[in-house]
Structure 1
Amino acid sequence: MIHFSVIIPTRGRHGYLRQAVESVLAQSHGAVDIIVVDDGEGAQEAVSGMGSNIRVLDNRQRGPVPARNMGVAASHADAIAFLDDDDWWTDVRYLGKVADAMEAGAAFCFADGTMMFEDGRPRLGFSFDADAASLERDNTILISAVCYRRDLHNELGRFDEDLPFYWDWDWYLRVARGGHGLVHLASPVVAIRVHAQNMSGESLEARRRANLDRFARKHGLPPIPLKNHVDIATGAPGTPAASPGAKTTT
């Protein structure tokens, strides 16, 4: 049986964190451990008593990318899954479906999600295909719906801590260019919470732009328009077409 480590970086969002952990504990696939990487304080108390398969690591406020590298380094599982602390899995069969795909030879799997807006806007489905060519233009993969074999890090190295905004996109492109197929499990498995804390404001735009330019230079790409997953989900100009079945719901 494929054993998963689910890595949840967190910083001061204890109510959200508990919901995220509960959604992992509800998975029907039995071989799972949870690694919570605390980039603030109080996570140990927040998840106390929730399960014996939960570990909490102290990232000492070094940031979200070092937190994920720490979680991966602490894992001894066959496969890695990520879940942001403000998201939650909605399909209890998610890891079981990934395990079936990995038993059949997949090294990297990603699934679909639903964007949930706390300001009352209609929810949005997020369903896109991805391969090396498409990832040179857009990041159409949700980190909270990604699972991959841990030994990919032996081949491809750690997450790039010089890309704090685009480390995930960088990882997907490295995997795809490394010759590993990206298996799309085309069903919604995660709710992505969209709220004021994760919507970029003007103060972040310059840093995001500089980081995206760094990403493009690293991979030998032309300049890429600045956009986020909400832009992609809403079909903003210059964004890719959704996979069949992605839609706006209420």
Structure 2
Amino acid sequence: MNYSIVIATYNRLVELAELLESIVRQSVRPKEVIIVNDAGESVEVLSELYPELSIKITSFLENKGHVEARNTGVRQAAEDIIMLCDDDDLLTENHAATMLKALRDADLVYSDVEIVEFQRVGSVRVPVNRRTFAYLYDHSLMRRFSTYVPSGSMYKKKLHEEIGFFDKSVHNYWDWDFMLRAASCCRVKRVPVAGVLYAFSAGGDNQSASMSEQRKTYLDRLSKKHNLGELPTKNFFLLLEEPEMKALEQNTLRVWNGAPFRSRLI
């Protein structure tokens, strides 16, 4: 089964190079890797460094936002199966193979992840903290708090014919919205393997780390669109420690040995 990987990127050359390093190590490589550069620094050098991958780069002349970048990449995908990846996350070597197998009887599959805090040592990111993120999948529960991590998730491209593309109007919550729309009409499956390393720092630049008034506006739009009622706007890590979330935690298979991914960029 062939698949396309779609990556939206903006000024994360080192991180993106490490992601490509994790992709080239996949036991089942993608047919193509589509990178949409949202008016950031050039990433063209990566095509030369990873000739084994069929890398296709689209560069915006002005910043259009990460949701539009993903939509552009998805529209360009030639394969019937798409994997989404954030530009600063990493995939363990059998992740794609595991997801392809799970997709045989589903329309969208997502895996558990390890949330990893990295520290830059020279031009290499070294893990300093890690924790699993593995929760029971239930559509009704997903309406209260999204435990869907889009990075590393895989789905059949025809899904967009059913539900449309990613919604720019909800911005930060495009992934939650996508999951709710997909689950309403298609087969969704959680894969209990922590095959994705999700880069996150509570004090870093990750867009999920802060809660501004604008972000609250997007959350309200999401709630109105899906009739979700009042949604929590608490700190992400504090929310995970609440009893309701702790009760949903599930066992998962940890497959990463903790070693950094040293890219060819260095």
CA contact (8 A) 1:125 1:246 kept: no
Rounded to whole Å, the distance in 1 between the matches of 2:41 and 2:166 is 23
* Cα contact 2:6–2:73 (8 A) shared by 1: yes
Spell out the pairing of 1:82-97 with structure 2 (5 A cutoff).
82-90=84-92, 92-97=93-98
Structure 2 equivalent of residue 243 of structure 1: 250
Aligned to 1:188: 194
Deviation per residue, 1:9-47 (Å, 9 max, x gap): 111110000000111111111443111110113112244
Pairing 1:212–2:205 present? no
TM-score by length of 2: 0.83
Rounded Cα–Cα distance in structure 2 between residues aligned with 1:110 and 1:163: 21
Q: Which amino acid aligns with 2:114?
A: T
The answer to whether the 8 A contact 1:132-1:176 is kept is: yes
Instruction: Report if the CA contact (8 A) 1:5-1:35 is conserved.
Output: yes
8 A contact 2:5–2:30 mirrored in 1: no
| 2:172 partner SS | coil
Q: Residue 150 of structure 1 aligns with which residue?
A: 157
Q: Structure 2 stretches of 5 or more lacking a match?
A: 120-126, 259-266
Give 1:50 shift.
1.0
2:106 corresponds to which residue?
106
Q: State the Cα distance separating 1:194 from its structure 2 match.
A: 1.6
Distance 2:149 2:216 in 1: 20
Task: Tell me the distance in 2 between the aligned counterparts of 1:201 and 1:138.
Answer: 16
Corresponding residue for residue 262 of structure 2: none
Q: How does 1:46-125 map to 2 (within 5 A)?
A: 46-51=46-51, 52-60=53-61, 61-90=63-92, 92-103=93-104, 105-118=105-118, 122-125=129-132
DSSP 3-state at the match of 1:166: helix
Q: Distance in 1 between matches of 2:28 and 2:209?
A: 39
1:198 to 206, 210, 219: 206
CA contact (8 A) 2:95 2:196 kept: no
Deviations 1:53-104 (A, max 9, x none): 11111133101000000000000111111111111112x111112222223x
Separation in 2 of the partners of 1:30 and 1:3?
8
Do 2:112 and 2:134's aligned partners in 1 also have CA atoms closer than 8 Å?
yes
Distance 1:187 1:243 in 2: 11
- CA deviation string 1:97-156 (max 9, x = no partner): 2222223x2111010111112378631101112232111101101111311001100111
SS of corresponding position for 1:208:
helix
CA contact (8 A) 1:131 1:176 kept: no
Identity across matched positions, percent: 28
Q: Which amino acid aligns with 1:219?
A: H
Paired AA for residue 56 in structure 2: R
Q: Which residue of 2 aligns with 1:5?
A: 4
In 1: Cα distance, 2:207 partner to 2:176 partner: 18
Give the root-mean-square deviation of aligned CA atoms: 2.4
- Cα distance in structure 1, aligned partners of 2:175 and 2:94: 24
Per-residue deviation at 1:227? 4.2
Counterparts of 1:95 and 1:7, CA distance in 2 = 13
Per-residue deviation at 1:201? 6.2
Distance 2:232 2:69 in 1: 28
Query: Does residue 148 of structure 2 align to residue 138 of structure 1?
Result: no
Aligned-partner Cα distance in 1 for 2:81–2:162: 14
Cα distance, 1:181 vs. partner? 2.2
Q: Which amino acid aligns with 2:115?
A: M
1:161-198 deviation line (CA, Å, top 9, x unaligned): 101110000000000011x2211110110111123111
**Aligned-pair CA distance for 1:4:** 1.0
